[in-house]
Amino acid sequence: MKVSVLHYLGLVLLCVALVRAEESKEWQEYGDHEEEVTISRVREEEQSHAYDWTPEISACIIAHNDKTMNNLSLEDCKAHCQTEAGFDCRSVEYYKTSKSCALSATTSSSSMYRKPCPNGNVVYTEISS
Ligand SMILES: *[C@@H]1O[C@H](CO)[C@@H](O)[C@H](O)[C@H]1NC(C)=O
C-alpha cells in the first residue's frame, strides 16, 4: 500500500513536471513569435519610409530654403531631406553646376513655387508620399 501511494505521488509529480516543461516551451515559442512580429513590424515601418519623389523638373520655390548644403549629388540631397530632423523636409532644389542643394519644408502648393525657375537651371523634386 505504502509503495503504491508513493508510486502514485511520483506519477503526479512527474505529470506536474511535464506540464511545467510544456508550459515553458509554449512560452518560449510565444517569445519567438513575438520577436518575429516585432521584426515584421520594423520591416513594415522601413517600407513605409520608402519615400516617393515627384519627377525631377526645372522649377523652384522662391526663398523658403530651410537648409542648404554643398558638394552633394541629387541623390544625397534627397537622402538628407528624408532624414532631416530639424524640420519637416518636403522638397529639394538642386543646382547641378555648383552641386548645391536646398532643403525645404515648402512644396509646389506654395504661392512662391515657380515652374520653370526664373533663377536659371534648378532641378526640383518633392516627396509625394
Ligand atoms: C566633395 O565630395 C566628394 C565626394 O564625396 C569628396 O571626395 C570631395 O572631397 C568633396 N569636396 C569638397 C570640397 O568638400
Which of 12-26, 68-82, 115-129 is predicted with the least confidence, judged by mean pLDDT?
12-26
What CATH superfamily classification does 57-126 receive? Hepatocyte Growth Factor (3.50.4.10)
pLDDT at 72: 96
R_g (Cα) of the chain, nearest Å: 31
| Model pLDDT for residues 22-79, shown as the tens digit of each residue | 655 555 555 565 666 555 655 555 555 689 999 999 999 999 999 999 999 999 999 9
| Cell matching residue 113 | 513655387
| Cell matching residue 26 | 509554449
Collapsed DSSP state (helix, strand, coil) of residue 11: helix
64 CA to middle of ligand 1, Å? 26
| Model pLDDT for residues 93-108, shown as the tens digit of each residue | 999 999 999 999 999 9
71 CA to middle of ligand 1, Å? 6
| Cell matching residue 110 | 506654395
pLDDT at 65: 94
Q: What is the pTM of this model?
A: 0.64
- In order of 17, 33, 108, the CA distances from 21 in angstroms are 6, 18, 63
